[in-house]
């Protein structure tokens, strides 16, 4: 089955125009290694070999950064399959869109030497023609994100059509209205992080000043928000319930916490989890009664009306 990926090409998309002219996508981590014979099918095996290499080349950087870099590198070089579709922002509000047509190539001496050949489509897509859910997904922080859940809309836009109405087809979603609301909440939380209770103690993970903790990729799916305590001693995995069944979201948070503990956390760092839901949930509280390292928050939405005209 065809997959769809949004890929950032260089810091602040500075390589996008060159990649478009060169008919490729590319990654620039561990630039001195040809990965031709070092691309296992399993992302975890790749990380096991190259996270130490990356950290040696980038002393002082945390393992979270190493996981992000190696995750992008493996995905571009191996995870993206021939026939998959890639969307690459040009930094001007547009997205180059193309189909991957070739395997991994190493271009020694280039700033971004790890490459895949791409057949770019005739026209880029603009943010204005996309639905809000697709725009939000494409704006998430990590260098590579899988946006296959928007496949129908992307294909329609490529063909010149209008965006489809997006609905949840996930069987684990019990409340579609909560799913839609809490997807917006994720972006709101990140944009207003410093005004939240969590923002007093944690910072959303950043890499070189760029937000990278939203939709942080793991080998079992993307973490909604990955944050680090201000003293650096704790990593927190934050998941919004998004209308899903309680058992599903608890299991998901625990899987993500396990990944962070085994792959990203330093020896002196603890790992905690946070679940955020629209309303109190007795099933969720019962499940978390035996999971003391996961906190449960609910949120409230406030609004007010402001009169703008004067009554005559």
Whose CA is closest to 96, among 31, 211, 10, 208? 10
* Residue 170: inside a domain: no
Count of structural domains within the chain: 2
Residues 186, 238, single domain; the answer is yes
Percent residues over pLDDT 90 in the chain: 54
Same domain, yes or no: 131 and 256: no
Strands 85-89 and 4-7: parallel
pLDDT digits 0-9 by tens, 238-267: 998 876 677 888 999 999 999 999 999 998
pTM reported for the whole predicted model: 0.73
| Token output for 249 | 């979201």
Q: What is the pLDDT of residue 241?
A: 82
Domain extent, residue 227, equals 176-298
Backbone angles phi, psi at 204, to 5 degrees: -60, 135
Specify the pLDDT at position 139: 81
In whole angstroms, what is the distance from residue 120 CA to residue 126 CA? Answer: 15
Asked if residue 92 has pLDDT above 50, the reply is: yes
In a domain? residue 75:
yes
Q: How far is CA 254 from the centre of its chain?
A: 18
Other CB atoms within 10 A of residue 280 CB: 9
Same domain, yes or no: 85 and 203: no
How confident is the model at residue 3, as a pLDDT? 94
* Pair 103, 223 in one domain: no
Of 158, 191, 218, which closes a domain? 158
Task: Mean pLDDT check: name the lowest of 4-8, 151-155, 193-197.
Answer: 193-197
Q: How many CB atoms lie within 10 A of CB 122?
A: 7
- 63 with 90, same domain: the answer is yes
What pLDDT score was predicted for residue 168?
43
Long-range contacts of 286-293 (CB under 8 A, 24+ apart): 287/246, 287/247, 287/250, 288/250, 291/250, 291/254, 293/257
- DSSP secondary structure letters along 159-209: TT-PPPPP----TTBS-HHHHHHHHHHHHHHHHTGGGSTGGGTEEE-EETT
pLDDT digits (tens, 9 = 90+) for 15-69: 999 999 999 999 999 999 999 999 999 888 999 999 999 999 999 999 999 998 9
pLDDT digits (tens, 9 = 90+) for 184-230: 677 778 888 888 889 999 999 988 777 888 888 888 888 999 999 99
């Amino acid at each position: 089955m065809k997959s769809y990926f949004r890929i950032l090409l260089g810091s602040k998309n500075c390589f996008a125009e060159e990649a478009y002219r060169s008919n490729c996508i590319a990654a620039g981590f561990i630039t001195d290694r040809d990965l031709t014979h070092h691309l296992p099918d399993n992302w975890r095996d790749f990380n096991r070999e190259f996270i130490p290499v990356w950290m040696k080349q980038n002393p002082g950087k945390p393992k979270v950064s190493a996981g992000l870099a190696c995750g992008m590198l493996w995905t571009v070089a191996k995870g993206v399959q021939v026939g998959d579709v890639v969307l690459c922002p040009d930094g001007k509000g547009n997205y180059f869109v193309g189909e991957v047509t070739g395997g991994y190539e190493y271009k020694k001496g280039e700033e971004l030497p790890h490459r895949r050949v791409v057949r770019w489509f005739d026209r880029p897509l603009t943010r204005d023609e996309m639905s809000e859910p697709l725009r939000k997904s494409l704006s998430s922080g990590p260098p590579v994100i899988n946006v296959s859940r928007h496949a129908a809309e992307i294909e329609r836009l490529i063909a010149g059509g209008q965006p489809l109405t997006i609905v949840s087809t996930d069987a684990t979603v019990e409340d579609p209205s909560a799913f839609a609301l809490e997807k917006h909440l994720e972006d709101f939380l990140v944009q207003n992080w410093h005004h939240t209770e969590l923002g007093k103690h944690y910072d959303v993970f950043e890499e070189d000043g760029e937000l990278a903790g939203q939709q942080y990729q793991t080998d079992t799916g993307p973490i909604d928000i990955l944050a680090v305590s201000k003293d650096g001693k704790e990593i927190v995995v934050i998941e919004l319930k998004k209308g899903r069944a309680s058992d599903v979201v608890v299991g998901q948070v625990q899987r993500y916490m396990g990944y962070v503990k085994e792959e990203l956390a330093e020896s002196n760092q603890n790992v905690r989890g946070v679940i955020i839901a629209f309303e109190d949930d007795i099933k969720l509280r019962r499940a978390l009664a035996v999971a003391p390292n996961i906190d449960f928050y609910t949120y409230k939405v406030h609004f007010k009306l402001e009169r703008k005209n004067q009554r005559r």
